[in-house]
Amino acid sequence: RCRRYRGLTLVLTFLCYTSYHLSRKPISIVKSQLHPNCSALGPNPRNDSNSSTWCSWAPFDGANYKELFGALDNAFLVAYAIGMFISGIFGERLPLRYYLSGGMVLSGLFTLLFGLGYFWDIHVLWFFIVMQVCNGLVQTTGWPSVVTCVGNWFGKGKRGLIMGIWNSHTSVGNILGSLIAGVWVSSAWGLSFIVPGIIIAAVGIICFFFLVEYPEDVGCSPPLHHVRVTCSEKDPEGITSSEGPLSISGQSSRDHLNSPKEPGEEPEAISFLGALRIPGVVEFSLCLLFAKLVSYTFLYWLPLYIVNVGEVLGPERQEGAGHGEHLLTTLLSLAAHFGAKEAGDLSTLFDVGGILGGIFAGLISDYAGGRATTCCVMLVVAAPMLFLYNHIGQNGIGTSIAMLVVCGALVNGPYALITTAVSADLGTHESLKGNAKALSTVTAIIDGTGSIGAALGPLLAGLISPTGWNNVFYMLIAADVLACLLLTRVVVKEIRGWCGPMARQRGYVQP
């Protein structure tokens, strides 16, 4: 019975955060439709408008449209980053089921209102900015809540692999969001927001009725990190169970915890400064800042990059065909010139790579016992791959597909590992002596710091892209290198641990 509840928790939290990302993705797909290449659509039917922007949606019809897109992204992401630091504190003190469901319904409302701007014929920037700010604030209810729920049900065992698979909800949501938004992006882009808004609100209602926050609520025993133990703190591998690494603790704790929990017995929630003092929290938070900067720049700007680069390279390739280039090579190259829908569909391959990267990172970190080292290696390899994608990624459809999958795996792998398994490990760190109430706050601190990078990335991309896409990629490569350097101290400690008596211990443990 308890196994069924654990499975239900995984499925529900997976669907919840899939819908969160599903509702974030449409803005990146719709950008190219808000400011398309109007000259390619034929003559201007209105004589009193600019011929090159007659089909654009005001206020994004000016020469500064990229800066406005950056401001739109930043409105959401800055609000999200600020709200995330507060969200974890509320998440520990309010019923997670109410907190999560309420946030999802409100997020659906603001996403829907953004889309209604199309049908209400709204052309003022402040309306779209306000909707983005409100949506960013309410979406902070999601991540601390779902990670805390999963952490309440699962112990450290093979947490990296389990959470690597579970964290594919981020990429699955991005993929579904891209595909759903792409259906209406060229005909009625407002529906690209309205439909995802309805979906996230509906999933929130389902979550309200079926999500179980704590194992004790249904008579199940909590996993090992919830139990105040004695000898196991010195020998974490000394406690085993016939149910495997994700199983609950021994029979004595089962007898003691079979009854529903009493609020008076709960440990006190940890303070913000107390969470910062947990070893590894600061290093991984700063690393995530730069890792998320790269990931969210791709999330918000990749479809527009694909369209813009195709528009630039298309005429050059046609000229090359006229000078006798191989016909098949030219046709494959010309296939890289996509419209808004096709660019959105192609961008989903980056998220396919993200799914593979998250699973791979979790599996390797479980086996090697080094979360930081796994992240660092993937970040080091990601830097040259980003350089190659910018220079050869548009040379053909096959090259584009391969490079997008590889870059997605290397960029999103460390991001996924830090926001899931590392956050859960640190939120149930041995220094807390069994107090798992810190999990929501630690998760919020790590993801909140990362969200600062998520806000900076798209903003910098909007400011830098008018000078050339090459400069945007140089910025992304520099961020990857900085993310790796910030983990140096933790990597050194992990390597020393492998050389000592803790070489066989699995999972991230701060020496």
Q: Under 8 Å CB-to-CB from 286, ≥6 apart: which residues? A: 449, 486
* In a domain? residue 480: yes
The total domain count for the chain is 1
Confidence label for 125 from pLDDT (cuts 50, 70 and 90): very high
Position 246 in a domain: no
CATH number of the domain where residue 343 is located? 1.20.1250.20
Whether residue 244 lies inside any domain: the answer is: no
Q: What percent of the chain has pLDDT over 70?
A: 75
Q: Does 249 fall in a domain?
A: no
**Cα gap 324→302, rounded to integer Å:** 32
- 357, pLDDT greater than 70: yes
* Highest mean pLDDT pick, 164-173, 175-184, 273-282: 175-184
The alpha helices in 369-393, defined as continuous H runs, are 371-392
* Separation in Å, CA 428 to CA 351, 439, 469: 29, 6, 42
In a domain, 24, yes or no: yes
pLDDT, tens digit (0-9, with 9 covering 90-100), for 218-234: 888 777 554 443 333 33
Task: Please tell me the predicted confidence (pLDDT) of residue 50.
Answer: 52
Distance CA 356, CA 375 (A): 14
Identify which of 66, 88, 79 has the alpha carbon closest to the alpha carbon of residue 454: 79
String of DSSP letters for 68-118:
HHHHHHHHHHHHHHHHHHHHHHHHHHS-HHHHHHHHHHHHHHHHHHHHHHH
Cα dist. 99→217, 249, 372, 438 in Å?
17, 29, 31, 17
pTM for the model stands at 0.71
In a domain, 178, yes or no: yes
Does a structural domain hold residue 264?
no
Residue 130 has pLDDT above 80, yes or no: yes
365-393 pLDDT, tens per residue? Answer: 888 778 889 999 999 999 999 999 988 87
Report the distance separating Cα 423 and Cα 445, nearest Å.
9
d(CA 114, CA 306): 24
Which domain, by its residues, includes 122? 1-39+54-221+272-313+337-500
Q: Given a cut of 90, is residue 134 above it in pLDDT?
A: yes
Q: Is the pLDDT of residue 503 over 50?
A: no
Give exposure, 177-200, as e/b (b: 16+ Cβ within 10 Å).
bbbbbbebbeeebbbbbbbbbebb
pLDDT value for 86: 82
| Alpha helices for 323-417 (secondary structure H) | 327-334, 340-368, 371-392, 397-417
Taking a C-beta distance cutoff of 8 angstroms, is the pair 454, 296 a contact? yes
**Does pLDDT of 23 surpass 90?**
yes
Burial class (CB in 10 A: 0-12, 13-18, 19+), 119: exposed
Find the range with the poorest average confidence among 86-100, 457-471, 480-494, 497-511: 497-511
Whether residue 241 is contained in a domain is answered as no
User: Which pLDDT score is estimated for 226?
Assistant: 42
Provide the pLDDT confidence category of residue 254 given band limits of 50, 70 and 90: very low
